Chain A
Amino acid sequence: MSQTSDPMHTLMTTPLYRMLHTWSFLVIFLFVSSPVLHAAESGEYIRIAKAGERRIPLALRGLDHERSKDAKYADGVDAIIRNGLEFTGMFAILGSPMNLFTDGNIFDTGSRRLNMASLGSVGAELYAGGVLERDGGDVVMHMEVYDVLSGRRLLGKSYRGDRKRLREPAHEFCADFVELLTGKPSVFRSRIAYVGLNGSEKEIFMADFDGVGAEQVTRTGGLAMTPSLSGDSSRLAYLAYIDGYPELHIMDMKRGRIVPVRKKGVKIDPAWRNGSSECATTFSFDGDQEIYLVRSDGSISRRLTRARGIDVSPSFSPDGRSMAFVSSRHGLPQIFVKDLLSGKERRLTFSGRYNTQPSWSPAGDKIAYTSMQKNGEINIFTINADGTGLRQLTYRTRHNEAPSWSPDGSMIMFSSSRNGQKKLYVMNADGRNQRSLNLPGEQMQPSWSLYK
Chain B
Amino acid sequence: MKKHLLGMCVLPSVLFVAGCSCCDDAVAPQEAPAPAPAPVVEAPVAAAQIADVFYAFDSSALDPMSEAQLKENARWMMENPDATIVIEGHCDERGTNEYNIALGERRADSASNYLVNLGVEPSRIQTVSYGEERPFDPGHDEEAWAKNRRAHFVMQ
Contact = CB atoms under 8 A, between A and B. Distances in A.
A326 B97 contact: no
Interface residues of B, number: 18
Contact of B98 (A268, A284, A378): A268
A318 interface: no
A410 interface: no
B57 to A, nearest CB: 10
Contacts of B102: 266, 268, 282, 284, 289, 310, 312, 328
B133 A223 contact: yes
A202 interface: yes
A295 to B, nearest CB: 22
Contact of B105 (A284, A328, A445): A284
B99 A225 contact: no
Interface in A260-315: 265-266, 268-269, 282, 284, 289, 310, 312-313
A313 B99 CA distance: 8
Interface residues of A, number: 34
Contacts of A266: 101-102, 105, 129
A407 interface: no
B95 A372 contact: yes
A269 B99 CA distance: 9
Contacts of A268: 98, 101-102
Contacts of B106: 289, 310
Contacts of A402: 96
B133 A202 contact: yes
Interface string B111-145: 00000000000000000111001100000000000
A4 B105 CA distance: 56
Given A223-B133, A245-B128, A312 B105 contact: no
19 contacts: A200-B134, A223-B133, A225-B133, A226-B97, A244-B86, A246-B101, A246-B128, A265-B105, A266-B101, A282-B102, A289-B106, A310-B102, A310-B106, A313-B98, A326-B99, A333-B99, A356-B95, A378-B96, A401-B96
Interface of A: 200, 202, 223, 225-226, 239, 244-246, 265-266, 268-269, 282, 284, 289, 310, 312-313, 326, 328, 332-333, 354, 356-357, 370, 372, 376, 378, 401-402, 444-445
